Amino acid sequence: MNSARPDPASAADLRVLGALALELRGDAPVARYALAQAEAGALAELIARDLAGFAPEAARLELATVGAHYDPVELLRPAWPLHRELDQLAARAPRPSVPAQADWSGGRVIAFGAHEGRLPGALAPSPDHVGGPLRLVPFVLGGDDAVAMRVGDAFERELLERGMAGAATALRAQEAFGLAVEHARYLTVHDLAAMTALQYEHAGLAPLWPLLETALLRPEKEAWLDAPPEPLVHYAGGEARIALFDPRAWKARYAADAPCDTPECRARLERRHQLFQARQRQIAAVLQAHGVPVNFVHLPSAEAARAQL
């Protein structure tokens, strides 16, 4: 399955959005989800060094990151709220004093860590999404728009193929967070979306991905999931509307070719309806995990269902 890759500059307001991806070994425990300021700063310096190795001009940009790790669904949300929060917090951070005569074109590194166990703003990882095999330390690169565009283009071309983190970075992340790292690499948010599309395909969620991709990458657009036997879903106006059919309407749309006149047949049809409802709940849960609001819309008739949704 292919994931759309819009121009990174237009998609992110000339910011480069990405993450250090930590693939964990087995079911090893995770000791910490957030780091104190000093530890966060030490990890950020290593991340900055790695990124400059992939695209030297990245060293001219401002890097903002956080000493915390998150599930992919916390990053893959419409308008990239976690990255936006990082960017907004970085914009309010004190700036270094630079002599007026200095020819200074370097970037700075801003790392947000926990104070008394709490991260600033809305950066706390969600306890609802722990335990997955892939954890992400997000970062934002910004500053000179032209430089950010070139760096973003380079990252989109190269990180997925050769974006392995340095050994020192992987070791620092492993020791600081107290987790077992199998692989550590860098991804753009579009790389992450493409990987997630493949994972969802393997999990039987391929029909949902085009709608979810629209919500993530083109939230102002509309998209449909209209492929029986899947539920009917319409994404528009920033929310997903899921058709909630009466049993009679559901049968007309999804089981019109299965007339039932025996108790056994009716029992099988009821089981199909229950499985359909479970699929609706699964799709709603996936959308909500990605920050897409879900609204169930009652439809008493299967006729002209799209027009009613």
| H/E element, 295 | strand 294-299
Instruction: Give the separation between CA 258 and CA 52, rounded to whole angstroms.
Output: 62
pLDDT (0 to 100) of residue 4: 47
Going from N- to C-terminal start, the domains of the chain cover 8-203, 213-308
Q: Between 58 and 101, name the one with better pLDDT.
A: 58
The pLDDT of residue 99 is above 90? no
Instruction: Give the separation between CA 307 and CA 267, rounded to whole angstroms.
Output: 31
At residue 136, the 3 state secondary structure works out as strand
The pLDDT of residue 282 is above 70? yes
What does pTM read for this prediction? 0.89
Amino acid (one-letter) located at 227: A
Average confidence (pLDDT) over 75-96: 91
Instruction: Give the separation between CA 85 and CA 8, rounded to whole angstroms.
Output: 18
pLDDT (0 to 100) of residue 13: 63
**Residue 214 burial (10 A CB sphere; 0-12, 13-18, 19+):** buried
Choose the weakest-confidence range: 11-20, 134-143, 166-175. 11-20
